[in-house]
Amino acid sequence: MRGIAPLTLIYVCCAWIAGIYVAHQLAVSPPYLWLGMVLLALTAWLFRANRTRRFIAVLGVVILVAAMRTTAALPQPSPTSIALYNNRPVHVKGIISRVPIVEDTRMKLVVRVTELQDGATRVPVAGQVLITTPLYP
């Protein structure tokens, strides 16, 4: 029985990291990932006599498994969640749900949002946001 090549683990780790990157950049849905994984596993089986080609196909499977794992771990906000509007300038309407945190130069407010306005449309949403304002606006 032959041993594992010294760089095998490094290649597998790099493939895993590539799978995480692919999941963040492409946002591929799980059915396509399953299809790709089955096709690459079949390819690895077909190339079972050629070690290099088989290993490349196995690395492809590792990339897709990492992409599936990353996709499954990311939260999927509901259509009425305020999280869908992260990093977008919108106007929110809500109620302060906790006592304000007063610091030296600023104040933090936790607001339970009930509605937001995105351009000309008003959308009912649910969730909380943290608003930081100057101490005396």
Write out pLDDT tens, residues 89-117.
888 899 999 998 898 889 999 999 999 88
The pLDDT of residue 82 is above 80: yes
**Does position 126 have pLDDT exceeding 90, yes or no?**
no
Q: Is the pLDDT of residue 137 over 50?
A: yes
pLDDT at 41: 81
What gap in Å lies between CA 127 and CA 81, rounded to an integer? Answer: 6
pLDDT digits (tens, 9 = 90+) for 15-73: 999 999 988 888 777 777 788 878 888 887 887 788 888 888 888 888 888 988 888 88
Mean pLDDT value across residues 107-128 = 88
- Find out whether 57 and 44 touch, Cβ atoms under 8 Å: yes
3 has pLDDT over 90: no
Q: What is the separation of C-alpha 119 from the centre of its chain, rounded to a whole number of angstroms?
A: 27
Distance CA 67, CA 12 (A): 14
The alpha carbon of 77 is separated from its chain's Cα centroid by a whole number of angstroms, namely 11
- Quickly list H helices, 7-126: 8-26, 30-46, 51-73
Structure tokens at 135: 């101490």
The total number of residues written for the chain in this structure: 137
- HSE-CB at 80 with a 13 A cutoff on CA atoms is 6
| Among 87, 88, 89, 95, residue whose Cα is nearest residue 126 | 95
pLDDT at 26: 82
| pTM metric for this prediction | 0.57
pLDDT at residue number 1: 44
